Amino acid sequence: MIVEMRVYYCAPTRLPALLERFRSTTLGFFQKYGIEQIGFWTTLVGPDNHALTYLLKWDDMAQREARWNAFQADPDWIAARAETEKDRPIVARIENTFLTPTDFSALR
């Protein structure tokens, strides 16, 4: 198992728009492509409270590449994302990290 941690840093005031896009659009595409989420979090206390952090679970990097690339290339997703950003961008930058559990991790 591999866990992908993605952190989306939003443009000022745009976090609500990002949350709504995930709630009403993105999660449907995740389901369509078999992208399994572990959870989503906003920052309560930390250096940036305009961020959304989420974790995705993958069997391996090959599965991740196949499913993520199919999702990113979906013309309906591309159109939906563009529609949500027609007035101005939502995300200023994205960081992603791939994590692998230790032999003593509760989640493996």
Q: Residue 50's domain is classified under what CATH number?
A: 3.30.70.100
> What is the mean predicted confidence (pLDDT) over 7-13?
95
Any domain includes 74: yes
Any domain includes 106: no
Any domain includes 5: yes
Give per-residue pLDDT as tens, 43-99. Answer: 999 888 899 999 999 999 999 999 999 999 999 999 999 999 999 999 999 999 999
Round to whole Å and give the CA distance between 64 and 83: 26
H helices of the chain, in order, are 15-21, 27-32, 61-73, 75-84
Any domain includes 32: yes
Any domain includes 104: no
Any domain includes 57: yes
57 neighbors 13 (Cβ within 8 angstroms) = no
pTM of the entire predicted model: 0.93
Any domain includes 105: no
Which residues span the domain enclosing 31? 1-97
Cα separations in angstroms, 42 against 6, 35, 50: 12, 20, 8
Any domain includes 79: yes
Domain count, the chain: 1
Environment class of 49 (CB within 10 Å of its CB; exposed 0-12, middle 13-18, buried 19+): exposed
